[in-house]
């Protein structure tokens, strides 16, 4: 398998992490160990699972890690929706990260489909 650092989905995952950490200080202090901790953990899980999956011996195992990564993207999206609903973040602030998350979802799905087709 290719070096995971060369994968665009991993690179985008790192960008997502950086942007999410950039939002962390905009949340109320009482959320530091609540939604902020959960959201940053989910963001880190995106590229971490892509990297970990690349070390597996089979595409089937890799797909499982990509699915975990995909779930983490959905989790981050949900935290951002909550942040908007609670008025912790404004719609304009998170437009770019929402677009990046949608791109990541599509790319992970395509990669999963590619690996699945290679094994059918």
What does the pLDDT read at residue 107?
97
Domain that holds residue 27: 4-118
Does residue 87 come out as left (phi exceeding 0), alpha (psi in the -120 to 50 range) or beta? left
Q: Following DSSP, what letter does each residue of 71-93 receive, concatenated?
A: HHHHHHHHHHHHHHHTTSS-HHH
Integer angstrom CA distances of residue 40 from 18, 61, 73:
9, 25, 11
pLDDT at 118: 84
pLDDT at residue 2, rounded to an integer: 66
CATH number of the structural domain spanning residue 74 = 1.20.1440.60
Give pTM, 2 decimals: 0.94
Per-residue model confidence as pLDDT tens for the chain (120 residues): 568 999 999 999 999 999 999 998 899 999 989 999 999 999 999 999 999 999 988 899 999 999 999 999 999 999 999 999 999 999 999 999 999 999 999 999 999 999 998 877
Q: Hunting for tokens 């935290």 — which residue is that? A: 79
């Amino acid at each position: 398998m290719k070096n995971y650092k060369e994968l665009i989905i991993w690179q985008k995952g790192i960008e997502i992490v950086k942007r999410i950490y950039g939002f962390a200080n905009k949340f109320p202090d009482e959320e530091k160990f609540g939604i902020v901790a959960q959201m940053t953990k989910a963001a880190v899980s995106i590229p971490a699972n892509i990297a970990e999956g690349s070390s597996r011996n089979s595409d089937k195992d890799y797909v499982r890690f990509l699915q975990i990564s995909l779930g983490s993207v959905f989790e981050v999206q949900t935290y951002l929706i909550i942040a908007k609903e609670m008025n912790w973040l404004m719609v304009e602030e998170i437009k770019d990260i929402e677009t990046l998350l949608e791109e990541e979802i599509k790319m992970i799905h395509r990669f999963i489909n590619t690996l699945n087709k290679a094994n059918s």
